[in-house]
Amino acid sequence: ACCGRLPTDRNDRGGLVQYDPDDLRQLQLVELEVLLAIDELCAQHDIPYFLDSGSALGAMRHDGFIPWDDDIDIGMMREDYERFVAIASDELPEGYRLLTPDATEGYAPMWAKVMRAGTKFYTRETLEAGLDQGVFVDVFPYDRLCGDARGAQRQVADCLKWQRASYLYHAASVHVPHGGALGRLERLACRAGHGVLRLCTRQDALVAHFRTAISRGVAGDRVTVLSYPVEGGFAEEELLPVRMVSFEGHELPVPQDAEGYLVKKYGERWMDVPPEDQRRNHAPEVLELPAHAVRA
pLDDT digits (tens, 9 = 90+) for 25-43: 999 999 999 999 999 999 9
pLDDT confidence band for 8 (50 / 70 / 90): very low
- pLDDT above 90 covers a percentage of the chain that reads 77
7 pLDDT above the threshold of 50: no
- The length of the chain, given as a count of residues: 296
* 8 A C-beta contact, residue 221 and residue 148: no
CA–CA dist 152, 157 (Å, integer): 8
pLDDT of residue 4: 56
103 or 280, which is more confident?
Answer: 103
293 pLDDT above the threshold of 50: no
Element housing 121 (H / E): strand 120-122
Rg (CA), the chain: 19
pLDDT of residue 173: 77
Identity at 250, one-letter amino acid code = H
Identity at 271, one-letter amino acid code = M
pTM score, two decimals?
Answer: 0.91
* 8 A C-beta contact, residue 100 and residue 92: no
- Which three-class secondary structure state does DSSP give residue 180? helix
Q: How far is CA 138 from the centre of its chain?
A: 4
pLDDT of residue 96: 97
Strand partners, 143: 224
13 pLDDT above the threshold of 50: no
> 243 φ, ψ to 5°?
-120, 155
- Which three-class secondary structure state does DSSP give residue 208? helix
5 pLDDT above the threshold of 80: no
> 95 φ, ψ to 5°?
100, 0
pLDDT of residue 40: 98
CA–CA dist 81, 200 (Å, integer): 30
CA–CA dist 194, 166 (Å, integer): 10
65 pLDDT above the threshold of 60: yes
94 or 8, which is more confident?
Answer: 94
83 pLDDT above the threshold of 80: yes
Nearest to 151 by CA among 216, 78, 221, 214: 216
- Which three-class secondary structure state does DSSP give residue 261? helix
pLDDT of residue 14: 52
255 pLDDT above the threshold of 60: yes
237 pLDDT above the threshold of 50: yes
* 8 A C-beta contact, residue 114 and residue 96: yes
Pick from 120-124, 134-138, 250-254, 289-293: least confident: 289-293
Mean pLDDT, residues 212-216 taken together: 92
pLDDT of residue 295: 41
Identity at 123, one-letter amino acid code = T
* 8 A C-beta contact, residue 159 and residue 229: yes
Q: Within 13 Å and on the Cβ side, how many CA atoms surround 157?
A: 6
Query: For the stretch 266-285, what's the b/e string if a residue is b when 16 or more beta carbons lie within 10 angstroms of its beta carbon?
Result: beeebeeeeeeeeebbebbb
